[in-house]
Chain A
Amino acid sequence: MSARILRRIATEWSGGLLLAALLVGGSALASEPPPVRLDSTADHSKYKELQQEFASGPELTKVCLSCHTEAAKQVHRTKHWTWDFLNPENQQRLGKKNVINNFCISVPSNYAFCTSCHVGYGWKDASFDFTAEENVDCLVCHDTTGSYRKLPGLAGHPPYKDVEIPPGSGKIAKAVDLSRVAQKVGKTSRDTCGACHFFGGGGDGVKHGDMDSSLASPDKEVDVHMDATGLDFTCGTCHKTASHDVPGSRYTPVGKDKGGAHMRGKEDKSNPATCQACHGLSPHKDSGMAAKLNHHTDKIACQTCHIPAIARGGVATKMSWDWSTAGRLTPDGKPMIKKDDKGRVIYDSKKGDFTLGENVVPEYAWFNGKVSYTLLGDKIENIEGVTHINKLGGSATDGESLIWPMKVFRGAQPFDAVNKTLVTPHTAGNDDTAYWKNFGWEKAIETGMKVAGADFSGKVGFIKTDMSWPITHMVAPKEKALGCSECHTRGGRLDAIDGVYIPGRDANRLVNLIGWIVAGGTLAAVALHGLIRIVRRPR
């Protein structure tokens, strides 16, 4: 019976089955183009070289470089790799490994922790080999899975096995599947750049104020350009990168872009990440106020009106950090943490007191793009005053400056009270001298200064410092840009700006009196003239 049925199927239905299969398959294969990746010409999951287990990042990088032969050499030339930069303007040796800030302070002696944001593997001390191509970390910028992460303390490596971080916390960070991540590499994204830049200073939104995790998938209110349902810019849309070298620098920013919009086909070596590089020098076009608004652009940075507040995405940014109060312990000698009513940390025994803010009105200053730093070894002239970690150049009269919005981050940090220099403390680590382990400044600073090759007298004090961060991200919709009255009034946003006449703010009593007399006199004369004409009209 069954043989008969099979025979009938074979003779009568086999053609039908084949036809059905062809129709189903054909509908997928012929009537529509088959699914295809449109964002790349290569599907890395098809490369046999990547279809294997990788024991470490460098092992994987070697495979990447077998095709992308020049990539590591290109990366080696960038600040993302060297963390070292010689400012041609003033010959200051900058870069992450050299500067000091008033957040986590500095890199030397804390390498294994800080370098979780280095585009390399294995920078655990000063002996790191910057020439080794396999030390370049391709995945940290090219991951598309969102599963790749480098953890503090692992010297730039991701976890290769499940690991408890911090030790003793009970929190397990799972091992990264290098093969899976490698097979899905793609272009950089807000997520990849943001993995470090959103979390600078030790946490979400801590450092910049205009960059935090809300920019990973923002709406238009948070950023008109990165709006995930609109223009959906990635970081690379503005920071247009060639040869792995990302333009746009905190060390040599552009204060006033006089070049205008970049054009295709025209060689332009100026920074492509300025507003003017796309919008030109007369950006306002479609309102009755366009001409008047365009007149503002020779004095005011676009960001001043179009970024009305700092930390607009729902993530608070740190506004101050007082290291001098660090080290307070509970009665039983344990470090403690205090939080505000929103659950945000405002005191940590390891770090001191913080203040945080959301939707903070920026401070404003003339800025010409020139920045000079107070570096390790620089004498601090006035230990009673505020030391500017970075000093921004600019004035109303230099022709190079615009009025910029700033996040000014204030704090108190340790310094060498005898040599009167900033110091680089050894904070992170599980050793005897790490401040976060033993809460002793002298030992921590002695270790850090030794690694940095700097003198330390052994006497620690605390000085007030500040750092200025020009604000440029989180551009609001134009409807939310500042109105005239925000600045053109006494006590307005630009109250502290000197060197420029701002109508409404700078009212002069004598000029006002003359104006009123002229206007009143004109009105009176016209009225009188009219009255005379009426009285003397022919009857």
Chain B
Amino acid sequence: MIKRLPIACAITVGLFSLSSLALAYDADWKRGRVYYRSVCTACHAAQAGGSIAPSTMTKAQWASYLQADKHAKGKDSMKQYVSKAYRASIRSQNKAAEKFAEVADDELFEDVKAFVIKGAKDGEAPATCS
């Protein structure tokens, strides 16, 4: 039976890899742009004393910020603001939340991440809020 262990392990690893491959997601920076501008920027401009342009931070700073997942100086989570629950709570007033209501949380988070990294100060296309 011990001889079958490597085979079983190989099949197991293979299937796990296959499943993660099937789930691999190619982030859509344009969808991230729409959500960032319509939700993040709109809320920050109206309630948080001004918008935050992607170009205000470097790619490394954005990556670190998103990895830490701390919003409002750690008061809450970044990811909650791209979650389906949050989108559901604002969809009646926010067209982007309405349009992307059914997008998976992780996908939308990756979309936003792709946009801010791309629009970072040292990104491919530094993006302002206008």
Contacts and interface: CB of A to CB of B under 8 A. Distances in A.
A230 B99 CA distance: 8
A229 B38 contact: yes
Nearest to A176: B124
Interface string B8-26: 1101100110110011110
Interface residues of A, number: 37
A228 B4 contact: no
A25 interface: yes
A35 B38 contact: no
A214 B127 CA distance: 12
A230 B22 CA distance: 30
B37 A217 contact: yes
A217 B30 contact: yes
A229 B2 contact: no
Contacts, number: 87
Contacts of A6: 2, 5
A24 B15 CA distance: 8
A146 interface: yes
B96 interface: yes
A21 interface: yes
Contacts of B16: 21, 24-25
A295 interface: no
| Chain A residues touching B, majority SS | helix
A202 interface: no
B2 A314 contact: no
B21 to A, nearest CB: 9
A276 B25 CA distance: 41
Interface string B81-102: 0000000000000011011000
5 smallest CB-CB distances across A and B, nearest first, come from A25-B19, A21-B15, A229-B95, A14-B8, A10-B5
B98 A229 contact: yes
A42 interface: no
B87 to A, nearest CB: 12
Size range of the interface on B? 20 to 34
A28 interface: yes
B8 A17 contact: yes
29 contacts: A7-B1, A10-B1, A10-B2, A10-B5, A17-B12, A18-B11, A21-B12, A25-B18, A25-B19, A25-B22, A27-B19, A29-B18, A29-B22, A34-B22, A35-B23, A35-B25, A146-B30, A146-B118, A191-B30, A214-B130, A217-B30, A217-B34, A217-B37, A219-B38, A220-B95, A227-B95, A228-B33, A228-B38, A229-B95
Contact of A21 (B11, B22, B23, B98): B11
A88 B15 CA distance: 65
B68 interface: no
B109 interface: no
Interface in A191-236: 191, 213-214, 217, 219-220, 227-230
A169 interface: no
Given A146-B29, A229-B98, A314-B130, A18 B12 contact: yes
A27 B19 CA distance: 8
Interface string A5-29: 0110111001001101110111111
A147 B38 CA distance: 23
A35 B34 contact: no
A488 B128 CA distance: 41
Contacts of B22: 25, 28-29, 34-35
Interface string A27-55: 11100001100000000000000000000
A314 B124 CA distance: 23
B27 to A, nearest CB: 11
A1 B58 CA distance: 52
